Amino acid sequence: MSNIKDSQGDVWEVFVQSKPGLPHKHAGSVHATDKEMALQNARDMYTRRNEGTCIWVVPLDAIVSSLPEDSGSFFDPSDDKAYRHPTHYVMPDGAKHI
Amino acid sequence: MDNTKKLEEFQAKIDADTKIEPKDWMPEDYRKHLQRQISQHAHSEVIGMQPEGNWISRAPSLRAKVVLLAKIQDEAGHGQYLYSAAETLGKSRDEFIEELQTEKAKYSSIFNYPTLTWADMGAVGWLVDGAAIVNQVSLQRTSYGPYSRAMVRICKEESFHQRQGYEIMAHMAKGTPEQKAMAQDALNRFWWPSIMMFGPHDSDSPNTGNAVKWRIKRETNDELRQKFIDKTVGQAEVIGLTIPDPDLKWNETRKSYDFGKMNWDEFWSVVNGNGPCNRQRLKHHIAAHKNGEWVRKAALAYAAKQKEIQNLKLEIRN
Amino acid sequence: MTTKEALINYCLRIGDTSLILGQRMSEWCSNGPVLEEDIAMTNIALDHIGQARTMLTYAGVLEGKGRTEDDFAYKRNEREFYNSLLSERPNGHFGDTVVRNFLQSAYFYHLYTALSSSKDELIAAHAAKSLKEVTYHLRHSAEWIVRLGDGTDESKNKVQTSINEIWEYTGNLFEMNDVDTLLIKEGIAINQTEIKSKWDKTVDEVLERAKLIRPTDAYMQTGSLKGMHSEYLGHLIAEMQFLPRAYPDAKW
């Protein structure tokens, strides 16, 4: 993606925390040539409407993603593990606060 | 897996309204269609900054100035979100910009009309953004994940844009006779190009078939146009302006407005380069891009030097 | 001159500088070197115009004749503006703009830091709020000075020339007259010489990081305290004021 002759800079993914205590959530991406520029661009792009208390920027190529063909082996095995969810368990009538 | 099977699975996903994500298999035509549509949408946002930018320095009050600036800034932002969505399809922003500048890619033809008076800021916000919003609300449900997410964000931000334009129109319509005339003149000039923004009639639109089948488009050009007209007629009445279409009439059976014939010769003439501002808009974009070249090069060179220093530090530490 | 009269003038100096700089920055819209920077520059323009609105409104309140922010922005003539000479410099290329903004932001940063404890409550509140904004402007422009100064040979030459050419307008930032004398005595304004030494330090630090050379102080242009400006200002306000001037009976 970086074409040194005339480039818009690399792509950075932006994660914004909207309130203290909440997880950072993917907001979108920006182009930038360095860390500080990425941070500032993310601030100017994604927090114009009071949307943030903290920003993370991550170079796109530092993100490792599972692939669509992985999804069967990655995610389907948890389909039949209903015992991981509280609704799996039968509580005696009248039991409270559990 | 052979392509027929892949295609079947792909269509099944589309039919089940499961979003397609960048790494998923997709037919080449789907990818191409999206690249074309999303980048065209991005270019429109970016070129669309110019006709409104034309009035920032002359906004008649400081409030009007900040509102207009914030709105145009959003448009730059929307262009940015859309380029980002388009880039997930495997082309760089550089390439998209080059396609725009070499006229391989188009942008919405409406921006080839000039903004002649301050009332045009009203008309553009009310009608042009209004039409765009009808289209974008529909596109929130588009089948490609990154495009859909960009649209959700854009629709959220756009909500003040149309109000900003309508407020200007309403204000001018009840202002001095000169102001009212200016408002009516702006409506007269922007009405027809605005309703033609939705594109040709469904029967003349070669791309609609696949786009609907793949759920890139969720509603057709004519459906969206009708929605916009039905919404807008009442708004014009409220502020006492007249829509320049003698054939505009409520149709009780259709529960919609009938409207007059659009001038598609003019539409295609503008699309093909003969609008009052086609050359000006492109020239402006190319000049800004060219003037920024040394800045982009400097930023890259600086980043490369910093990386080198960083590597050197690591070497020394090891 | 009463304290009130002095304070009105002081508000106009700050407000006009913000207004003119905001107007200049808004000229960048759709002209930025990359889309992200276009958005950043618009943010800066919005901050400045917002700051101007507070100061011009306050000037009107102090004056008590019913003049609004728009009366001040749109109905004064060239000789009635008190903005810094720096703020009205044309945008030029991106480097020219970055340098102008950096020098002005560094000034605002130290001015607002000091004015946060002004005895005038509104000035203090305005300074505290604006300080957050100009802290960001300073950071943004300083990083660009460094990138351009330490980028390519071309960018280094360009930005050094920008600094050399604009330098003669920096002295004006620190000029004082009897308005200052009076307001300093009242604890409302700040002695500009105090800001100057801090400004020097900020500027030196950034120029050093950017591997750029600070010009030696030679002749400094003057005039803004008396409402005397470059020829550029007249054009800027003619354009800005066009509509209210052309349609004096209209409300917008």
Q: Render pLDDT for B28-44 as a digit per residue (tens, 0 to 9).
A: 999 999 999 999 999 99
Chain C residues in contact with B82 (beta carbon < 8 A): none
User: Is the pTM above the cut of 0.80?
Assistant: yes
The whole-number pLDDT of residue A1 equals 39
Superfamily (CATH) of domain C3-246: Ferritin, core subunit, four-helix bundle (1.20.1260.10)
Chain A residues in contact with C140 (beta carbon < 8 A): 40
Tell me what the pLDDT averaged over chain A comes to.
88
The whole-number pLDDT of residue C132 equals 97
* Residue with token string 């059976």: B253
Categorize the per-residue pLDDT at A3 as very low, low, confident or very high, splitting at 50, 70 and 90.
very low
pLDDT in tens, B207-263: 667 888 999 998 999 999 999 999 999 999 999 999 999 999 999 999 999 999 999
Tokens of C230: 């470059």
Q: C185 in contact with A at a CB cutoff of 8 Å?
A: no
Alpha carbon dihedral B69, B71, B76, B77, in 10-degree steps, equals 120
User: Can you list the domains of chain A with their CATH numbers?
Assistant: 10-65 (3.10.20.520)
More confident residue, C39 or B206: C39
Is C36 in contact with A44 (Cβ distance < 8 A)? yes
Is A6 in contact with B296 (Cβ distance < 8 A)? yes
Categorize the per-residue pLDDT at A6 as very low, low, confident or very high, splitting at 50, 70 and 90.
low
Of B57, B179, B291, the CB nearest to C93: B291
What value does the mean pLDDT take over residues C55-84?
98
Q: C-contacting residues of B 52-71, CB under 8 Å?
A: 53, 56-66, 69-70
Phi/psi of residue B25, nearest 5 degrees: -65, 140
Q: B49 in contact with C at a CB cutoff of 8 Å?
A: yes
Q: C34 in contact with B at a CB cutoff of 8 Å?
A: yes
CA-nearest residue to B167 within chain C is C252
pLDDT in tens, B107-131: 999 999 999 999 999 999 999 999 9
Q: Where are the domains of chain C?
A: 3-246
The whole-number pLDDT of residue B35 equals 97
Q: What percent of chain C has pLDDT above 90?
A: 99
Q: Partners of B52 in the beta sheet?
A: none
Q: A71 in contact with B at a CB cutoff of 8 Å?
A: no
Q: What percent of chain A has pLDDT above 70?
A: 94
The whole-number pLDDT of residue A97 equals 85
Sign of CA dihedral C92, C94, C96, C98: positive
Q: A49 in contact with B at a CB cutoff of 8 Å?
A: yes
Q: A47 in contact with C at a CB cutoff of 8 Å?
A: no
pLDDT in tens, C116-158: 999 999 999 999 999 999 999 999 999 999 999 999 999 999 9
Euclidean distance between CA atoms A40 and A47, whole angstroms: 10
- Is residue B169 exposed (0-12), middle (13-18) or buried (19+ Cβ within 10 Å)? buried
Tell me what the pLDDT averaged over chain B comes to.
95
Tell me what the pLDDT averaged over chain C comes to.
97
Is B93 in contact with A8 (Cβ distance < 8 A)? yes
Mutate to test the interface with C, among B295, B300, B306, B309 (most CBs of C within 10 A): B295
CA of A13 vs chain B CAs: smallest distance (Å):
10
Tokens of B182: 């200016």
pLDDT in tens, B66-110: 999 999 999 999 999 999 999 999 999 999 999 999 999 999 999
Phi/psi of residue C37, nearest 5 degrees: -75, -35
The whole-number pLDDT of residue B206 equals 67
Euclidean distance between CA atoms B281 and B152, whole angstroms: 28
The whole-number pLDDT of residue B1 equals 66
